[in-house]
Structure 1
Amino acid sequence: MTFLKDEGKKEGLEIEIIEFNDFILPNTALSEGEIDANSYQHEPFLKDQNETRGLKLASVAKTILLPLGIYAEKLTDLAALPYGAKVAIPNDATNGGRALRLLEKMGLLTLKPEAGLTPSVLDIAANPKHLKLVEVEAPQLPRVLPDVEIAVINTDWVIVSGLDPQKALAKEDTTSPYANILVTKACDVEKAEIKKLVNLYHSDATKKFIQNSFKGVILPAWTGEDKKAEAPGSPAPSAPEA
């Protein structure tokens, strides 16, 4: 965000960075008008917040992806994962479901078609290797690696624990629906300041900064289609119904 703040000054946009220490307060502050936008959550989380808390917030752009990855202490190839292997995943609904989706993408299990973006272990339709799923508090996942064959871990906890993110056996890519998004109030999506902030996020300079600074650990999540959506005269992002 410091990079964006500096880039914003060049475009006449003053950005004040406010940090929060939990996942609920940023949306509360936004809904109550204490801030103009936030950037920390993904679409499934925002959808849940709008539905369960009666908020009227809207996503206006993808920002970055901190890829969920599959890590192991000894295993070097997922193809060698043994039958009956212990697999640790986050125990919260959103990240646990995200982990199951990654395991499915890697061909390790199959989920029920109706499971959606936040499946649980009850939504597993096929488990051909009879994997034993162990649900663990997300921050503790790096610590249980010696006790399991693989663990599905969020990038932030990988970094905090000192693991090497480049040694993941598999990772989400930028097609993931769990990319972070820029969020504002539904009534503010057309504000000039918000559109300018989106353009700053999606600039070539920001993309190069992310790529050069994080070397694939954090990825720019927007695509060419996102850029088209910012073109003058394009329709505004859809907002939640009142």
Structure 2
Amino acid sequence: MSTTPDSPTPSGITALPARPGRDRGPTRWIVLAVVAVVAVAGILFATLRGGDEPAAAADRVTVKVGTTEASADYWPILVDLAARENIDIQLVNFTDYTQADPALSQGQIDLNLFQHLLFLANYNVANSDTLTPIGATVVVPLGVYSGKHTDLAQIPAGGQVAIPNDATNQARALLVLQQAGLISLTGGGDPLSTPADIDAAASKVTVTPVDAAQTVASLPSVDAAVINNNFALDADLDPSKALYNDDPAAPAAEPYINAFVARADQKDNPTFLRIAQLYHDPSVTAAVVAASKDTAVIVDRPAADLGTILAGLETVVRDAS
């Protein structure tokens, strides 16, 4: 441990020569006492001022988190909370949903937050991977919107409804339409249902799968469209004007719980778990709910529960394959 430059050390003090005929004893002991006090003070000052700084710097960790919504309002709040605990979150934004899981698996990032459990189940099964949810975040509703009608009952028999064409959102959209009483699915449907599972004779409408990003644009040409919450908000659609929403708090919504995801060998990493906990700070969740126009439902489920749900979904996906 070193002292600061302006702190005197014992070697920096020189005793004056004794005057002839005077007793040097008391003076000598006083000087030595001063030397000791100054030395101790210098050491303490150096410790208090600079001794902790290298340790604090050494304790800081950087965590790369992949997301598809780095511009979301809650991220600056979460990043600041983590920084106060010596965790530097570095956001890595992906524009394609298919990129963030391979990046995590390959170690390019440490965590990701963009997907629900069903999406993760499909990825793990398709890629023989073991990515693991470590903290729940939110479930957002999936709504039925219309530019022509203000009530479900106004949709005519034989009407046309656009739905997202990607596997996980398509199945959820079909379940939403069934809950709304617009279609009937053979066997009641499941998280992997496709348009081929529609019982046409028992259904009121037909469905047209389109790219999820085009569901909003399809509104003028169809009777209704099932639109993901992020696309609805981006298009300034009012969620309160949706003709129907599924219930994000219902057990049927479990496959759509969004989560922080890590590699399996890092699922118990205390820093990663702490980031997932900080998401549930009231300042963060308030920003999440506000950005969703009060439609998002915050979910705080133990990682063990998420693992159980994921395992069940992976079994469903494997069996379907």
Moved more, 119-128 or 10-19: 119-128
- Percent identity among equivalent residues? 33
State whether structure 2 residue 176 is matched by structure 1 residue 98.
no
Q: Is the 8 A contact 2:184 2:203 kept in 1?
A: no
| Equivalent position SS for 2:114 | strand
Q: Is the 8 A contact 2:139 2:298 kept in 1?
A: yes
Aligned partner letter, 2:267? V
CA RMSD of aligned residues (A): 2.4
State whether structure 2 residue 217 is matched by structure 1 residue 146.
no
Once the two structures are superposed, the pairs formed by residues 204-219 of structure 1 within 5 Å of their partners are: 204-217=282-295, 219=296
Once the two structures are superposed, the pairs formed by residues 144-183 of structure 1 within 5 Å of their partners are: 144-175=218-249, 176=253, 177-183=255-261
Aligned partner letter, 1:191? N
Show structure 1 runs of 4+ deviating over 4 A: 234-241
Q: Is the 8 A contact 1:85 1:149 kept in 2?
A: yes
Separation of aligned partners in 1, 2:223 and 2:170? 17
Q: Is the 8 A contact 1:108 1:128 kept in 2?
A: no
Q: 1:158 to 1:58 in 2, by over 3 A?
A: same
| Equivalent position SS for 2:265 | helix
Q: 1:144 to 1:98 in 2, by over 3 A?
A: same
State whether structure 2 residue 298 is matched by structure 1 residue 221.
yes
Q: Is the 8 A contact 1:82 1:129 kept in 2?
A: no
Q: Which residue of the other structure, out of 178, 182, 185, is the alignment partner of 2:263?
A: 185
> What residue number does 1:64 align with?
138
Aligned partner letter, 1:149? D
Q: Structure 1: 5+ residue runs without aligned partners?
A: none
Separation of aligned partners in 2, 1:49 and 1:169? 32
Q: Structure 2: 5+ residue runs without aligned partners?
A: 1-74, 315-321
Rg larger in structure: 2
Q: 1:114 to 1:101 in 2, by over 3 A?
A: closer
Q: Is the 8 A contact 1:109 1:127 kept in 2?
A: no
> What residue number does 1:44 align with?
118
How far off is 1:235 after superposition? 8.7
> What residue number does 2:280 align with?
202
Moved more, 94-103 or 174-183: 174-183
Separation of aligned partners in 2, 1:193 and 1:103? 41
Separation of aligned partners in 2, 1:136 and 1:158? 15
Instruction: Say how many residue pairs are matched.
Output: 233
How far off is 1:209 after superposition? 2.5
Q: Is the 8 A contact 1:108 1:127 kept in 2?
A: no
How far off is 1:26 after superposition? 1.0
State whether structure 2 residue 92 is matched by structure 1 residue 18.
yes
TM-score, normalisation: structure 1: 0.85
CA displacement, residues 46-85 of structure 1 (integer Å, 9 cap, x when unaligned)? 1111111122201122213342211001211113322111
> What residue number does 1:31 align with?
105
> What residue number does 1:9 align with?
83
> What residue number does 1:75 align with?
149
Aligned partner letter, 2:171? G
Higher helix share: 2
TM-score, normalisation: structure 2: 0.66
Moved more, 96-105 or 1-10: 1-10
